C-alpha cells in the first residue's frame, strides 16, 4: 500500500473565516502570541502499490475531485508503507 | 514569525463518512487503485518568534481548543520563516 498525504490550503487571497474565528478564540484564551491561523485539509490516500505513475494519478484526482482550484492550493507527499 | 503546521487526523477507530464518500466518488470516476481516503485538518499557525517554549504553547492550544481528543489525533511541525 502506498500512502499519499495531500495538503490543501486556501489561496492566500481567500478570506478564511474559520481561521479568523480560531485566531480570535486563541487570543481571548490568552495565546496573544498567535498572529494568524489558517485552516486547510489533510487528505490521506491509500493507493494500491502496483499503480504506475502515482504522481500523475494523484494530480488527476486532485484536479478532478479533491481540489477546488479557484480557491485552493495543494501539495502532496508520497510515502511507502 | 514562526510557522507551525498542526496535522489533525481522525482516530483510526472513528468512522470518517467524508472519507468514505470521497473513496466511493474516486472509484466511480475510474480511480480503482484508491483503497482508502481519510480526511483531516491542516491548521497553519503563525506565532510571534519571541515566544519561549513554543512546543509547550502549541500543545496547550491543541489541548484547550484545536483538537477534540476523543476522536482526533494530532502531530505538529515547527518551521522558522
Using one digit for the tens of pLDDT, what is the confidence trace for A2-54? 999 999 999 999 999 999 999 999 999 999 999 999 999 999 999 999 999 99
Of B19, B41, B50, the CB nearest to A39: B41
| B81 band by pLDDT with thresholds 50, 70 and 90 | low
Cell numbers of A22, please? 480560531
In the CATH hierarchy, which fold is given to the domain comprising B2-80?
Answer: Mth169; Chain: A , (3.30.1280)
Please give the model's pTM, rounded to 2 decimal places: 0.94
B30 pLDDT more than 60: yes
Q: Where do the structural domains in chain A lie, given as residue ranges?
A: 2-80
Q: Which three cell numbers stand for residue A17?
A: 473565516
Contact flag A44-B37 (C-beta cutoff 8 Å): yes
Please identify among residues 40-69 of chain B the ones whose CB lies closer than 8 Å to any CB of chain A.
Answer: 40-48, 50-51, 57, 60-61, 64-66
Q: Which one, of A56, A62, A52, lies nearest residue A7 by Cα?
A: A62
CA angle B69, B79, B3 (to 5 degrees): 70
3-state helix, strand, coil in chain B (%, to 5): 30, 40, 30
Mean pLDDT throughout B34-59? 96
Alpha-carbon distance of A33 to A81, in angstroms, equals 37
Amino acid at each position: 500500500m502506498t500512502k499519499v498525504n495531500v495538503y490543501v490550503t486556501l489561496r492566500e487571497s481567500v478570506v478564511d473565516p474559520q481561521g479568523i474565528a480560531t485566531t480570535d478564540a486563541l487570543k481571548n484564551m490568552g495565546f496573544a502570541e498567535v498572529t494568524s491561523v489558517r485552516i486547510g485539509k489533510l487528505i490521506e490516500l491509500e493507493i494500491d502499490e502496483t499503480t504506475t505513475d502515482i504522481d500523475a494519478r494523484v494530480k488527476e484526482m486532485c484536479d478532478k475531485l479533491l481540489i477546488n482550484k479557484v480557491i485552493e492550493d495543494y501539495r502532496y507527499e508520497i510515502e511507502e508503507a
